[in-house]
Structure 1
């Protein structure tokens, strides 16, 4: 079958070349552009069942009209405080943005000018930095979002002298990261071509031979880009890693396959001048090696499609590239080889083994491994094992660390971080869903409780919600604050009561003095008692007192007025008496009586003045003092009844004094009661402030327009979805921030126990929450998908080598090499260069490349070992395999390492670490493992290498390899 194919190919070689060229041109014209699709595809793929992905979906349902899915933060800064002219310029830019909002693709523009109370959220405390938040309706990767950001930057160009404007936020960060990565990829593409061409020129020492693999891989790459882009319609994910690996793997592995074919073709051309015969022998010997090598890479990248994590899945497109490359390698490359023949090696003449010759270095390693295999293994293990312990698995999720710090998105982020908090740029959002509405006092009280609980967590700067839109607890709605206001009123009331008490006491003292004077007056007036018989009624007993609620102040004042009236009436009666009996005017007793009456009148006036604060102090308690009834009777019978009237006056004064005493006692009890209430409420306030639970929302506040704005922003219209924004005080990309996600979620859930939202569903969204889940998802996918890859490669190796043992120790050597490599890479970047950790995708993709491509070199060596093997001649077969393929392996590894080393010059840390890791890994594997460890294991196992299969019969390829050449008779 192979012979028929080669004969057909010999007749149609030019047609094959033309068809491939036509396919390449047609793919460019017909198939979609992969680069454009990658730019419009989300770079971080979360599975649909991820909590943060579900939370984001819920938040999008909260306000369908708003539909904000990305944002940009304009950072305006001046080294000194922003001036009024700067503020006017910012305001004019905002006004223009809002006037063209729909045309620019903007949902909302938020700034300090919208609400002066929000100034602290947009203007730094030192006044040097101001933020303007612009929200967009589409995801960051959409072309419309990119256009909106470009228009936004145009609106804020030409700032006042001394003012700088930077743009950060989710959209600018994504754009700058993508731009930086794409620029790095362009550098990589150019550098890869230069490196591959240089290495091929060095390997073949011919200006013609290198262009065969370059043309083959170039056409395969062009076609693959179109096919992968077209396959996205079927749901195959793509990312920047898709293009990165297509370039590196296709040019690396594809060139290796071409080198293997060209090298063996040159070897066979030295044995025969017939190109078709040489190609037939090449195909029969290394054709299977190329196919099996490509199959391992194909299977490895194909199995990536079973990963849950979309970013890992995006590497599945490489399997399409490998399939195309293998097809080109077994059709286009042989066609070109047939067309050029020996001319492809010009100016070097074709000689046996002239391609690489027997490698002296690999021959020496073969002899060492054959002579002392155990010692070689022990020394290698002792030297390499310590590097494994350097691998601690430190991973970094900081996208900003990936790009140049002078880029606007990074500069803006750092300025916000310095003046506000890095969490302001990328806050974490808590999505709360409830079966019943949360637009109730009970629901909002529960949200406040959850907000307070989250705000108490370390490194949480503030929490914003419908209950605290500005990130701080609304003091007027807290029970401690409300109790404090009540206590102030009660304290003022108690002070008024005390003033009344003082007035009562003063009045009582004065009345006691007046009572003593009246007694003397009575004794002096006995001689004219018969003239005072008209004084009949006296003063009535003051009744009622004052109850504990303070009802008495106003009535006491009225009683005082009545007493004053009675005293005045008594004065009138005395005047009438002296008018009728003028001789009394000179009476000492009469004059004393008049003086005492005037003193009584003055004392009652002071009493009335003392009672005035009582009415004010008890106004809030609606005081009602029982009206002091009765009064002082008029002098009924003229001067004969004066003595009786005075006696009644004395009795009235005593009763009034007693009434004042009772009122004083009652008010004292009220004052003491108020004091006790104040003390109890202080205790309640203190306890409430400590327990966080004290929050009360009156219904009238819930219906206020300003409060409704907060509800509309933080809660859905039906009240069944609410959000809390958690602003971290630390870098939201950091491991420390990610570790807070579980703590925040559990704290919120715990705080809602026993509230109206005890059965609510809690999920976290945002960049930090995404990466927190990515950390776990990517790790789990690593182990699961890595297992699939190892199993798939093992099956291919078992089929190729007809052995179950050799594939096992080959895979173990690959895994061991991976661990050593990661230890070295982590030590270099984390310990020596000071990185926080390796980029989180590096460990997975380094494993994938080292295993999937490193196994190729095992196949090159072990396939030749299988070809050269004869029963009982293990050492000779391995020696031959190493000396003949060692040069090819080194050349292939040099090219593969070169293509990935080109990533180190991309300027993107992830690609830098990937390039370094893969280059180091391939270098160690193709020297230490392939040159010493694997050969030593093969020698130690001896004939058991082929277990459980028999090696008595040679394969067709081996027979062809050892067949006698009909031309040379060798």
Structure 2
């Protein structure tokens, strides 16, 4: 049992249990670092205030991380195919938002503003912004999005601040693994070289490994259950400190144990004594480190606090070294140093003896030399640090490459924009007065040199919306008011002119014109009655003609048996010709009546035109007084409807012209027939009679068609008259339908039949024997020149009808324009012009009717001549015999056509009553117009007075408009007009709603401005710009409706700026606390006040010098001219906490030798010689351990390793100079000679 206790077996068992428990209870280190290891900034910092606002933003933006997908084609523009593939990728992500935990996304396809922000100017790169939930780990999310975003033919990157931070964590974790392996191998090799034994290195690694495993488990459980500070650097610095310091302490312990064994002590006694002597030093030294790292718990910055984990590791390390090491020493004894058999005691350092000896001999010179060597590095020291996380990462990482692609093709700040938040407690910011302030802030920031773009609720695309600024709005107003002023002047002039013209006008003449128009219409109605009588006669003549033609056919058939039958047929033909002559005379008299009616209409239109011309200018002004003009507009509309639409007459006139042409052709055929039928005089008279009858019937058909069209127009006028009764409109519609059916079913087929009959009569020209008789008949028909004259008259009538149609269109326009006050004058002018056209057209109609009447008289004369030639036909009966065969065939065909003609004439007669009814409707409308005009005449005086009052009012208004326009023009040109103004309708419109949703919180109490800086987001310029922006915004809000609102800036730059401020201030604070704590420990250890000051001064000098050299080495060999922002802190902590060990080693040995009564200078030289070997070995191992950080690839770890290694080298060189020199100057002022140190030299 005694051996069990002496050999510390219980300690071994206890630590085995501890290790097993540590392994079993070890949490997931990587998960804890991911969850708790991020930099924590105090909640009062602006970036954290901004985060708080964002987390309460609504719209699903709380607990959201931003991810950017980068699509790039290098330095070449994206092709159409690549764009299609990119769009397909974006659509795929959009469809599977839930699967990838995407809350929202913004792409270039969304809108023009997004396209301007997300597509580079060189068209080589396109971005996709994703807002993703934080409920899933960033590493898993990044991998999923990267896989989904991969696009064929396009370089695709997934980046973002969280992804870059996770990459940094991964790099750190991988660096820790490399460091542990490299450190273990290095320590093993160095210890083998120092102790010349493979056993000692293994024991040292085991003890340190146990301490590392146990302490790491303790720290991670404290993190998991008690919220212990943690960062990505906690574990890695625990590794290097525990392996480095633990190995140093082991060297001290094993070296003392070896020295005691060399004195002949047993393994147990040597263990006990070595633990007492070396353990005392280890405990004091470890305590100072423990105090230094524990002091970091008082830091406010999470990164600095996270180093407290090293203190836990040191505490466990001390426990392991002072309990587990004795087991191995007592159990193995000298076997620990196998195969070494030489135990002559501890080694000595000649370097430290030389430096310390010369330092005490020439203390001032030694101090001066150290100062001179350090001075250049101290003078070149600067505190410009690199806060760019990207610098920590390898250039081969895709996320870093994507970030650089964004910076190369967009503004450097595009990848990490800043977000400015303005938050109020109870004000809803979606109001015009608040939006105006927000826009003012937006424009203020856009004017800053370091700002690339600013987007806000008022400028969602990052540029002004000109329509929402008073200057643009005032420009529209002033232009409109200028036009109004001019228009008022024009209206006023028109009103005065109208007033004067109304005073001089005679509306009675217009009423007289309407009376004449009514009279003319009555005559036209009488003419239609006569037309009906004429059509009856025409039908009777057509029937007689049909009988004569039948007789002719029979006679032609009988002529073969004798001339008597021919004579009878000729007599019958003579009777038919007489009847035809009578019908032609009747038609001529009726066309004269028609011409008279047309003349009456023409006169009435002329008088109406004269009356309207007298009041045209007056009516031009009446439009400005809409109430007074209401009745006049109604009457003008009624007049337009009375005119009707005469477009259908054109077709009928064209048909008439065609029939006259056929008549001319028939004359040619008759002449040809005369030449072929010489000697058949009686037959010639018959043919001429038929020819004349056909022409007369055709002319009647044309006239009937014209009357039919007029009847349709009149009926349409009634149907379109708003004042007409429903029954009248229905009757008018029936008239229209009946007339149109008559035209298409009867008149048109009649014309076609007549054309066919003419052709067939012309085919009888082979009867050459009838030439002489046919010549006399042909001479009685209208000549071609007369026919052409009639056709010319028809053409004129067509032009007249075109003018009537144009006039009707003008009338419709006049009705529409009557409601437009500023344009009545021009419309009345148009009415006057169109009335003149109507007068011209009616004149043409009267002229054409007269010419048509003359043609009818000519046809009647020709028919009389045909009748007198009937006797001649009888005398030529004998000569007819030679052509009776052909005549019989033609007569039969002609008989059939005559029957058809008789039927058509009867139908025409039946349709005339409908025409008469239509004219009666027209007459009623004219009477209504007369009554309306009588009412207008009575209102003229009242209107004249109203125009005078209106003119006076317009003068007043015009002056006011001119004054306001002058003021508004001046205002528009002033700086005051350069203000945002949004109308309420626009504010709540669908167009503006997306901007409100994007840039305002759900409760509208907060708004955000997205700021893209022109600098690298992590640069010092960017941080300074963010601070300046916050101050400017706060200043801009003072004295406004948003005075006192919370202003905070979020984003990478703001976070870095806060980190810079907090890290800088907390660094100084923490360093002072650490130095005070270590200084107090040193006072307790050295029992002196000055000695701790010498030690701390030496450490601080080594720190600043090492940092300056590290900066130079980093720039020369690593390409990074600045130190990372956390390098100075960690270098300080490591150098001060670890470097104090060597000073404590030295001072403890110095106190040990002081018991011999020697001079202080001699004691410090002896202590330096003895402890120097231990320090050099320890520094070598500690430096090598930190060198293991370099392969990690993390810039901070590399620079910290460089600073510690360089600092250790400096400490190893200046501790034996400065401390002995200071000891000599303080405690031993007597002169020291070389003889005083001979004992140590030997």
Scaled by the length of structure 1, the TM-score of the pair is 0.79
**Would the aligned equivalents of 2:294 and 2:308 in 1 still touch at CA under 8 Å?**
yes
- Which residue in the other structure is 1:133 paired with? 129
Decide which of 306, 323, 348 is 2:298's aligned counterpart.
306
- Which residue in the other structure is 1:37 paired with? 32
Decide which of 1199, 1212, 1225 is 1:926's aligned counterpart.
1212
Once residues 313 and 1118 of structure 2 are traced to their aligned partners in structure 1, the CA distance between those partners, rounded to angstroms, is 35
Instruction: Please tell me whether residue 805 in structure 1 is matched to residue 1085 in structure 2.
Output: no
Once residues 1229 and 102 of structure 2 are traced to their aligned partners in structure 1, the CA distance between those partners, rounded to angstroms, is 70
- Which residue in the other structure is 1:332 paired with? 324
Once residues 268 and 490 of structure 2 are traced to their aligned partners in structure 1, the CA distance between those partners, rounded to angstroms, is 122
The 3-state SS of whatever aligns with 1:263 is helix
The 3-state SS of whatever aligns with 1:209 is helix
**Structure 2: gaps (5+ residues):** 517-608, 627-813, 826-946, 1231-1242
- Which residue in the other structure is 1:91 paired with? 87
Name which one, 1 or 2, has greater alpha-carbon Rg: 2
- Which residue in the other structure is 2:6 paired with? 11
Once residues 222 and 131 of structure 1 are traced to their aligned partners in structure 2, the CA distance between those partners, rounded to angstroms, is 46
Instruction: Please tell me whether residue 370 in structure 1 is matched to residue 376 in structure 2.
Output: no
Decide which of 450, 461, 464 is 1:459's aligned counterpart.
450
The 3-state SS of whatever aligns with 1:107 is strand
Decide which of 689, 696, 702 is 2:987's aligned counterpart.
702
Decide which of 170, 175, 200 is 1:184's aligned counterpart.
175
- Which residue in the other structure is 1:246 paired with? 238
- Which residue in the other structure is 1:896 paired with? 1182
**Would the aligned equivalents of 2:1112 and 2:1121 in 1 still touch at CA under 8 Å?**
no
Pair 808,671 (structure 1): closer, same or farther in 2 beyond 3 Å: same
Aligned runs of 1:646-685 on 2, under 5 Å? 680-685=967-972
Decide which of 973, 979, 987 is 1:686's aligned counterpart.
973
Shift of 1:126: 3.0
**Would the aligned equivalents of 1:391 and 1:827 in 2 still touch at CA under 8 Å?**
no
Q: What's the CA shift string for 1:570-598, capped at 9, x where partnerless? A: 9x99xx9xxxxxxxxxxxxxxxxxxxxx9
Aligned runs of 1:382-421 on 2, under 5 Å? 382-421=372-411
Shift of 1:265: 0.6
**Would the aligned equivalents of 1:33 and 1:225 in 2 still touch at CA under 8 Å?**
no
Shift of 1:95: 2.9
- Which residue in the other structure is 2:137 paired with? 144
- Which residue in the other structure is 1:102 paired with? 98
Once residues 70 and 803 of structure 1 are traced to their aligned partners in structure 2, the CA distance between those partners, rounded to angstroms, is 55
**Would the aligned equivalents of 1:212 and 1:336 in 2 still touch at CA under 8 Å?**
yes
Shift of 1:836: 5.1
- Which residue in the other structure is 1:76 paired with? 71
Once residues 90 and 1186 of structure 2 are traced to their aligned partners in structure 1, the CA distance between those partners, rounded to angstroms, is 47
- Which residue in the other structure is 2:336 paired with? 344
Shift of 1:125: 2.6
Once residues 599 and 375 of structure 1 are traced to their aligned partners in structure 2, the CA distance between those partners, rounded to angstroms, is 130
Aligned runs of 1:203-242 on 2, under 5 Å? 203-232=194-223, 233-242=225-234
Pair 406,671 (structure 1): closer, same or farther in 2 beyond 3 Å: farther
Aligned runs of 1:18-29 on 2, under 5 Å? 18-29=13-24
- Which residue in the other structure is 2:633 paired with? none
Instruction: Please tell me whether residue 434 in structure 1 is matched to residue 427 in structure 2.
Output: no
Shift of 1:879: 2.0
The 3-state SS of whatever aligns with 2:1138 is helix
The 3-state SS of whatever aligns with 2:110 is coil
RMSD: 3.7
Shift of 1:387: 1.3
Pair 942,695 (structure 1): closer, same or farther in 2 beyond 3 Å: same
Once residues 619 and 432 of structure 1 are traced to their aligned partners in structure 2, the CA distance between those partners, rounded to angstroms, is 57
831-840 or 212-221: bigger deviation: 831-840
**Would the aligned equivalents of 1:390 and 1:824 in 2 still touch at CA under 8 Å?**
no
Shift of 1:568: 12
**Would the aligned equivalents of 2:37 and 2:232 in 1 still touch at CA under 8 Å?**
no
- Which residue in the other structure is 1:120 paired with? 116
Aligned runs of 1:451-490 on 2, under 5 Å? 451-490=442-481
Once residues 87 and 1204 of structure 2 are traced to their aligned partners in structure 1, the CA distance between those partners, rounded to angstroms, is 52
Pair 25,686 (structure 1): closer, same or farther in 2 beyond 3 Å: farther
Instruction: Please tell me whether residue 905 in structure 1 is matched to residue 1191 in structure 2.
Output: yes
Shift of 1:111: 1.2
Pair 902,692 (structure 1): closer, same or farther in 2 beyond 3 Å: farther
Pair 317,42 (structure 1): closer, same or farther in 2 beyond 3 Å: closer
Q: What's the CA shift string for 1:763-806, capped at 9, x where partnerless? A: 22221111111111111111111111111111211111222221
Once residues 492 and 42 of structure 1 are traced to their aligned partners in structure 2, the CA distance between those partners, rounded to angstroms, is 70
- Which residue in the other structure is 1:653 paired with? none
Shift of 1:10: 5.0
**Would the aligned equivalents of 1:550 and 1:625 in 2 still touch at CA under 8 Å?**
no
Once residues 944 and 793 of structure 1 are traced to their aligned partners in structure 2, the CA distance between those partners, rounded to angstroms, is 28
Shift of 1:557: 6.8
Shift of 1:683: 3.6
The 3-state SS of whatever aligns with 2:992 is helix
Once residues 475 and 203 of structure 1 are traced to their aligned partners in structure 2, the CA distance between those partners, rounded to angstroms, is 80
**Would the aligned equivalents of 1:187 and 1:906 in 2 still touch at CA under 8 Å?**
yes
Once residues 271 and 872 of structure 1 are traced to their aligned partners in structure 2, the CA distance between those partners, rounded to angstroms, is 24
Once residues 793 and 41 of structure 1 are traced to their aligned partners in structure 2, the CA distance between those partners, rounded to angstroms, is 29
**Would the aligned equivalents of 2:1023 and 2:1056 in 1 still touch at CA under 8 Å?**
yes
Once residues 872 and 340 of structure 1 are traced to their aligned partners in structure 2, the CA distance between those partners, rounded to angstroms, is 38
Shift of 1:876: 2.4
- Which residue in the other structure is 1:257 paired with? 249
- Which residue in the other structure is 1:748 paired with? 1033
**Would the aligned equivalents of 1:109 and 1:134 in 2 still touch at CA under 8 Å?**
yes
Once residues 960 and 1185 of structure 2 are traced to their aligned partners in structure 1, the CA distance between those partners, rounded to angstroms, is 88
- Which residue in the other structure is 2:1139 paired with? 854
**Would the aligned equivalents of 2:292 and 2:1074 in 1 still touch at CA under 8 Å?**
yes
Once residues 602 and 831 of structure 1 are traced to their aligned partners in structure 2, the CA distance between those partners, rounded to angstroms, is 102
Shift of 1:736: 0.2
Shift of 1:835: 3.0
188-197 or 607-616: bigger deviation: 607-616
Shift of 1:338: 1.6
Pair 668,205 (structure 1): closer, same or farther in 2 beyond 3 Å: farther
Q: What's the CA shift string for 1:377-426, capped at 9, x where partnerless? A: 12211221221111111111011122122322222112222222232222
Once residues 90 and 179 of structure 1 are traced to their aligned partners in structure 2, the CA distance between those partners, rounded to angstroms, is 30
**Would the aligned equivalents of 1:112 and 1:122 in 2 still touch at CA under 8 Å?**
yes
Pair 100,57 (structure 1): closer, same or farther in 2 beyond 3 Å: same
Shift of 1:716: 2.4
Once residues 666 and 698 of structure 1 are traced to their aligned partners in structure 2, the CA distance between those partners, rounded to angstroms, is 31
Decide which of 146, 149, 160 is 1:153's aligned counterpart.
146
Once residues 488 and 827 of structure 1 are traced to their aligned partners in structure 2, the CA distance between those partners, rounded to angstroms, is 68
Shift of 1:250: 0.4
Shift of 1:671: 8.2
Pair 742,284 (structure 1): closer, same or farther in 2 beyond 3 Å: same
**Would the aligned equivalents of 2:212 and 2:239 in 1 still touch at CA under 8 Å?**
yes
**Would the aligned equivalents of 1:388 and 1:822 in 2 still touch at CA under 8 Å?**
no
Pair 418,399 (structure 1): closer, same or farther in 2 beyond 3 Å: same
The 3-state SS of whatever aligns with 1:725 is strand
Q: What's the CA shift string for 1:807-846, capped at 9, x where partnerless? A: 1211111112212222222333358865352111111111
**Would the aligned equivalents of 2:89 and 2:149 in 1 still touch at CA under 8 Å?**
yes
Q: What's the CA shift string for 1:172-221, capped at 9, x where partnerless? A: 22222222232233222222222222221221121111111111111111
The 3-state SS of whatever aligns with 1:330 is helix
